[in-house]
Structure 1
Amino acid sequence: MSTPEEILRNLKSEDLAARKRAIFTVGEKKTVESIPILLDLLKSDPDSVIRNSAARALGKINAEQYHDQIFDSLIKALEDSDYYVKANACWSLGKLKDKRAIPSLMKMVDPNQRFYSTVGDGFTQNTISESEASEKIREEGVKFSDVIVGAIKALGEIGDPEGIPALLSALEDKDDGNVRCAACLALGKIKDKEAVPALVELLKKEKYWYVRRDAIKALKKIGDPRAADELINKISDMYDEVRKFAKKALLSLGKQAPTAILKLYMKNPNDEEIKKWMKNNFTRDEILENIKRLEENEEDKEKKEEFRKFFEHLLQPLV
């Protein structure tokens, strides 16, 4: 096993494999003494994998006495020609949780930045079309989505509402469901109610089940009753994961959304989890009162009759 001194020496080794192993080791062990070397590797090493590894290791170590130097180096790395370096710089900026990174990360979320790259070269969609890009470029660079997702996750880790405009924009990304998922989860971490209308709208129109699921997860964390009606609609979603999280989100709203909870109960009168929640959170009189109010306010005759019958059913005690 290498000694700490040998590991630090290997960071400067001419053996590429030895350098990679050393970078991984100092990152895992949070070796503060390695930071000056890692900063230099991130700035100037010709190998993109080394720069990529250095960017991630700096985020893992994140020593307070080097905070500003690490921060500046990672911000600069967002301009690297290799998109893996960019993505790991985003990851590490999320670990630093420095609000000064928000403007730079917001710029990285712009979907128009998707590009194809090889080491040392970058092409924007404005200068080369996908059909013109070589197979090698497609294999090595693919799209910029990993960088966008990395920036979105970092904004969520920082957790400041300043980043919300970029995240709301990412909900509209038409090219990649993973980008929309990441935006949902980041908004859930920030927990700002400004995001609720956009998340509800996404939930209405989203074609991918996993994005609907993550939008619901975000709404659950935010806990705003404005989402209740659309959450009720998703109780009938064709995918079990969506239905499961919609139920959890509704129950977490509790008495903020009594009407929605009662509709949930009506749709699932034999669900033991819902029955238990109802018994623990509503009195029988509260249930009857709210069901009666639903009936009185409903204009649709069929639904009105449905509420009336359920009201009569609830005259019997919950079991």
Structure 2
Amino acid sequence: MKIYHHLYKKEKIMTPRKSVQKITLTTIMLIFAFGFSTTTFGRAEAKLNSIFSWGTTQSADSKAYNEAYSLVIDQNWQNALQAMQAFVGQYKSSNYLDDAEYWICYSRSKLNHPAKDVFNCFDAFVKKYPRSSWSDNAKQELIKLGNTLARSGSLSKEYEEYLHAMKKSHKDEVKLQAIYALADIGDEQALSTLLTIYDRNENEKIRGAILYMLADFKSDVALDKLILIAKNEPALALRKKAIYALGDNKNPKAEAAILQIINSRAPTTLRKAALHTLDDKKNPKVIALLENIALTDPDQSLAKTATYALGEMNSPQAEKALQRILTEAIESSVKKAALYAIADQKGDAALNVLLKVATESSDENLQKAAVYALADTKSPKAFSALKQILETSQKEKIQKASLYALADLHEPQVAPLLYKHAMENADKNLAKAALYAYADLDEVQAAKLFEIYSKTKHVEVRKAALYQIAEKGPKSDALSQLANILKTEIDPALRKSTVYAIAEIDNDQAVDILLDTVKNDQDADVRKSAVRALGSIDSEKSQKALLEILNF
């Protein structure tokens, strides 16, 4: 069995390549692979057990090893160390011997035994088991330990010799780690070796790892290589990594390269990556560049990215740039991006800009966006601004937007205002929008919605109120209100809507009310609606009610 990784308690631990595993989901998958049906499961399992002779029994060493390994899984390092040492002492010819000896070294590392002792443990393991599946893991542990020891001066010569030997490893991961460790302690040839591996290796994962290493070299050669890769590498993923590496470099040459990529005809994804590296820069030239892209670049997605990047800068110059984009950008989507970026700035200045757009812009979609952005500012002045828009705007869509935005403020003065408009607004559509906004408030109760139902002059608002009553708990209170409406409402159309609202509550109390309606309501359409509503309730009581109706 190949080594595979098992994530346990947030720590990556490799399971043993020969450990016995229970056949559960694997068994089922293999049954299908062999073409067995579930009715022949017993015969299939027998066949699997013949293939995997360890499926039902374990040898003494296998059982002992797995008991010790369970301590590794539990990260019980002291007991794991003792159990693995006992295993090695008792089963000297076991196939699990190299596994156990690896975990002895690993447990010692986890128990913070002296680094040099652990180093020697892994070193002895590699020499004793050069072909073990754990050999590469042990080599990587040696590199980490040796680097620590070399810095302390307690293993410098011995460790450097070991790292140079590891450079010749046929495993790329081990080779890279060794080269990086050499660079970390000042090996002059490490950079040259990395560049050679990058140019000759076709493995994108390895080349990506080298890019991150290059970013740590304080060298013009490494920087020039990163710039070359960022501009010309055929693999876009590698170019993007090189761009991010350049973005972390404070060298003026790196920043110049980033700006060149942004202004180039490179694929949009790369230009966006370059823009993101400028998010925290406050250089006036950078702000001017981002503003120019937002205003003139034909690629809308790039223009929006530049706009959002300006929003992250939190500087007076960036705020002015956003305001120019808001008024001068050609595309509405870019203007909206500027709106949201301004809203994120918070403060009175941002609120005033948004209010001006919401009340004066000729673009209705932009006005709506400004209204919702006002609510997002969470400013104490947002309520007054939205109330002003509601009372002065001549556009119904903008007024509706202000009602919904008000509901997002969670201010104490919001509920009375929405309640008033739901009951008194002369425009039925605005009254209905006010009702929905009011119903969305956390503190609203069914009784208050019933008041709106009773007092509004708009039939559409009354119907909408019925469904909102049904949605606002507790269910018993809502049903009580709705049952009262069924008995007192004169308009059959409203009683019919009440029936469907009751069906939305879907409990036994609702069944009783609907059955009573079928038996006693004077309007045939209302009675039919009550029957259909009973049919929509999936319960034993509703079925009994329907049978009773058949015999009625």
Q: TM-score, normalised by structure 1?
A: 0.55
Q: Which runs of no fewer than 5 residues in structure 2 stay unpaired?
A: 1-266, 277-286, 520-526
Query: Gaps (5+ residues) in structure 1?
Result: 115-142, 288-312
C-alpha distance in 2 between matches for 1:86 and 1:13: 24
Structure 1 residue 185: Cα displacement: 1.6
Match for residue 249 of structure 1 among 501, 511, 524: 501
Cα deviation code 1:218-255 (max 9, x no counterpart): 333224526414467599429xxx95x64442124446
The answer as to whether partners of 1:170 and 1:179 remain within 8 angstroms in 2 is yes
Q: Which amino acid aligns with 1:251?
A: A
- Whether the aligned pair in 1 keeps the contact of 2:407 and 2:440 (CA below 8 Å) is yes
Spell out, residue by residue over 1:184-219, the C-alpha distance to the aligned partner (whole angstroms, 9 max, x if none): 2212222511641343136x6314x4x455333433
- How far the C-alpha of 1:40 sits from its partner, in A, is 3.4
Structure 1 Cα separation of the partners of residues 302 and 433 of structure 2: 28
Aligned-pair CA distance for 1:173 = 1.8
Residue 263 of structure 1 deviates from its aligned partner by 4.3
For residues 1-319 of structure 1, the aligned pairs below 5 Å read: 1-2=267-268, 3-4=271-272, 5=274, 12-13=291-292, 16=295, 18=297, 21=300, 25-26=304-305, 31=308, 34-36=311-313, 39-40=319-320, 43=323, 47=327, 56-57=336-337, 67=344, 69-70=345-346, 72-76=348-352, 77-80=354-357, 81-83=359-361, 84=364, 86-94=367-375, 96=376, 98=378, 100=380, 103-104=383-384, 107-108=387-388, 110-111=390-391, 113-114=392-393, 143-158=394-409, 162-171=413-422, 172-174=424-426, 176-191=427-442, 192-193=444-445, 195-201=448-454, 205-207=457-459, 209=460, 211-223=461-473, 224-225=477-478, 227-228=481-482, 229-230=484-485, 233=489, 236-237=492-493, 246-253=498-505, 254=507, 260-266=513-519, 267-268=527-528, 271-275=531-535, 277=537, 279-280=539-540, 314=548
Native 8 Å contact 1:39 1:54 kept in 2? no
8 Å CA contact 2:371, 2:401 repeated in 1: yes
Distance 1:48 1:271 in 2: 60
Distance in 2, matches of 1:58 and 1:13, equals 13
Classify the secondary structure of the residue corresponding to 2:291.
coil
Distance 1:315 1:260, change over 3 A: closer
Rounded Cα–Cα distance in structure 2 between residues aligned with 1:281 and 1:9: 71
User: RMSD of the TM alignment (CA)?
Assistant: 4.9
Amino acid at match of 1:271: V
Deviations 1:121-161 (A, max 9, x none): xxxxxxxxxxxxxxxxxxxxxx2433321111112344566
- 2:329, 2:320 → 1: CA distance? 14
2:294–2:325 CA contact under 8 A, matched in 1: no
Distance 1:281 1:271 in 2: 13
Quote the Cα distance in structure 1 between the aligned partners of 2:309 and 2:431: 36
Distance 2:302 2:490 in 1: 46
Contact 1:153–1:182, Cα closer than 8 Å, also in 2: yes
Q: Which of the pair has more CA radius of gyration?
A: 2
Letter in 2 for 1:78: L
- The worse-fitting range, judged by mean Cα deviation, of 258-267 and 151-160 is 258-267
Inter-partner Cα distance in structure 2 for 1:48 and 1:198: 48
Question: What number of residue pairs does the alignment pair up?
Answer: 248
User: How many angstroms does 1:35 deviate by?
Assistant: 4.0
Amino acid at match of 2:300: R
Q: For 1:217 and 1:88, locate their aligned partners in 2 and report how far apart those are by CA, in whole Å.
A: 29
- Separation in 2 of the partners of 1:51 and 1:74? 21
Task: Kindly provide the amino acid, as one letter, of the partner of residue 351 in structure 2.
Answer: I
2:216 alignment partner in structure 1 = none
Distance 1:89 1:246 in 2: 37
Letter aligned with residue 156 of structure 1: A
What is the alpha-carbon distance in structure 1 between the residues aligned to residue 341 and residue 438 of structure 2?
Answer: 26
Residue type of the alignment partner of 1:277 = I
Give the residue type in structure 1 aligned to 2:428.
Answer: G
Identity %: 14
Q: Normalising by structure 2, what TM-score?
A: 0.35
Mapped partners of 2:339, 2:294: distance in 1: 24
CA deviation vs aligned residue, 1:253-272 (integer Å, no higher than 9, x gap): 44666774444444237734
Q: CA-to-partner distance for each residue in 1:51-87, whole Å, 9 max, x for gaps?
A: 975674367679xxx95x2364553222445154553
Q: Read off the aligned partner of 1:173 and give its amino acid letter.
A: N
Shift of the 38–146 alpha-carbon distance from structure 1 to 2, 3 Å rule, reads farther
User: How far did 1:13 drift?
Assistant: 2.5
How much has 1:104 moved relative to structure 2?
A: 2.7
Secondary structure of residue in 2 paired with 1:190: coil
